Structure 1
Amino acid sequence: MPQTIWIARHGNRIDFVNPDWFLTAEKRYDPHLSDDGHIQARQLANRLKGEEITHIFASPFLRTVQTANHVAQTLDLSIKLEWGLCEWLNPDWMSEMPETLSVKELCHRFPRIDPSYTSIIPNYPETGEQCLKRTDETAKRVAAEFPENILLVGHGASVIGTTMGLVQGVVETEINASLCCLVKVIRDDGKWVMELNGDTSHLSKTEADIRFN
């Protein structure tokens, strides 16, 4: 049977809207969604109604969990936290391994999280090549273990890496990874084909320039 994987980036983040947030934040490398980011996430959730998604995987960063949670509420699904989808652990962006909320804290705030799911834990720091390899391997592993229609919610880097990992011949510069975008890939007869590339038609407001950090 064909399998569809949807790949989404999180909605707009508070430090993109208010850069000064970073100066006083307790967890500086784990910003939450901005108000318009929540709107984008709800629009993403509405877009995915009726797509027969059975599993949602999300990076454990707060902005990705919040985005995934909007979808999970709409589709009545649980969320599996997957560090393999996390942000690029780039030492030029962050001076240390980013601190996120603990799984216990996240489960308390977001009861749809499945605490029984076990994720890999990547190493800090990593090069761009290592990030692409990590997200590539994560996409392939999850697709094999969960051969239904699934949603991966990550970051700009993981949207690119997971798509490149699944679809042969696609290069980094060809993938649109704007905020709250959607990539759709379908596997039939053992080959992955990209049907949507960073689609944002579900959003009422999109970013003019794609930002990654």
Structure 2
Amino acid sequence: MPITYPRKIWIVRHAEREDNINRNWRKLDGADGLTSDNSMLSVRGRQQAKECKNRFENAQISHTFASPFDRTIETASTIIEDKGMKVKADGGLCEALYLCDKPPGFWETDKLAEKFPLVDLDYIPVFSKYTLPREGCGDDACVPRVGKTLRAIFEKYEGNLLLVGHGASIGACHEVLMGDFKYVGQATVSEFEETAPGKYRHNYSSDSSHLSDKKNLRPW
């Protein structure tokens, strides 16, 4: 199906994660003495995800993409659970790699789908755990990877798109689409319009109007 313009690009940062409020979580979840970065959502985070779902209740979303971490897949799955669609998990949207574990087993699509039934088993990601590039330190080191991911997704998939990522990868989305690396709060929404192939209009960033509790959204 040909892509028609303009179209909306919504970018959502995952909701609050359990290890934001429970400092012992990484130690408890880690295997063989190693810590884990794959936190699920906190109780507050699950409420935030439901409020994101309410925000997008009447939105016409054609495709949803998310980083292959529990907190991002859970956020995305909650938002679209009543829309009859799947979540496409893509490593291109994951956090800056210096902040993450080396790509672990939970990145495998079939393992993700065991935990989150709305994961699309047929989706071929732009970046899998086997094809991630080498990246330096610094949140902006992920900009080239995120840029390649966005270009590939935008060229292939029609309609309005929803992307769920992390602090650094969403900052990189802003760098790619508007030339300004920008941090956003958890469970907030940023909106762009693709007005023509490769041409983008920035409507707003880090909007939290749908959230009942706007305290400490960690916009960094």
Length-normalised TM-score, structure 1: 0.88
Match of 1:171 among 173, 177, 180: 180
Structure 2 CA distance for partners of 1:161 and 1:30, relative to 1, 3 Å: same
* Alignment correspondent of 1:113: 119
**Correspondence for 1:162 among 173, 183, 186:** 173
Q: Decide whether the 8 Å contact of 2:11 with 2:189 is kept in 1.
A: yes
1:181-210 deviation digits (Å, cap 9, x = unpaired):
111000114420111211111111124362
What is the one-letter code of the residue matched to 2:76? A
Q: Note the C-alpha offset of 1:136.
A: 1.8
Cα distance, 1:113 vs structure 2 = 1.2
Q: Is the contact made by 2:133 and 2:145 (CA closer than 8 Å) also made in structure 1?
A: no
Residue 179 of structure 1 aligns with an amino acid whose one-letter code is Q
Q: Is the 8 A contact 2:174 2:180 kept in 1?
A: no
- The answer as to 2:203 corresponding to 1:195 is yes
The one of 8, 15, 24 equivalent to 1:4 is 8
Give me the whole-angstrom Cα distance separating, in 2, the residues matched to 1:75 and 1:158: 25
Q: Is residue 35 from structure 1 mapped to residue 43 from structure 2 by the alignment? A: yes
- Superposition pairs of residues 4-153 of structure 1, within 5 angstroms: 4-26=8-30, 28-90=36-98, 93-94=99-100, 96-99=101-104, 101=106, 102-119=108-125, 120-121=127-128, 122-123=132-133, 126-128=136-138, 129-153=140-164
Tell me the alpha carbon deviations over residues 138-190 of structure 1, each in whole angstroms, 9 at most, x when there is no partner: 112211111310100010111111122122xx312xx3411011110001144
How many angstroms does 1:126 deviate by? Answer: 3.6
- CA distance 1:98–1:20, change in 2 (3 Å): farther
Q: Unaligned stretches of 5+ in structure 2? A: none
**Could you tell me the percent identity over the aligned residues?**
29
Q: Secondary structure at the match of 1:74?
A: coil
**Number of aligned residue pairs:** 205
Deviations 1:30-63 (A, max 9, x none): 1110000000011111101222111000100010
Judging changes above 3 Å, is the alpha-carbon distance between structure 1 residues 24 and 189 closer, same or farther for their aligned structure 2 residues?
A: closer
TM-score normalised by the chain length of structure 2: 0.86
**Structure 1 residue 76: Cα displacement:** 2.4
Q: Is the 8 A contact 1:45 1:74 kept in 2?
A: no
SS in 2 for 1:15: helix
RMSD across aligned positions (CA) = 1.8
Relative distance call for 1:204 and 1:138 in structure 2 (3 A) is: same
Q: Distance in 2 between matches of 1:202 and 1:194?
A: 19
**Cα distance in 1 between the residues matched to 2:216 and 2:39:** 21
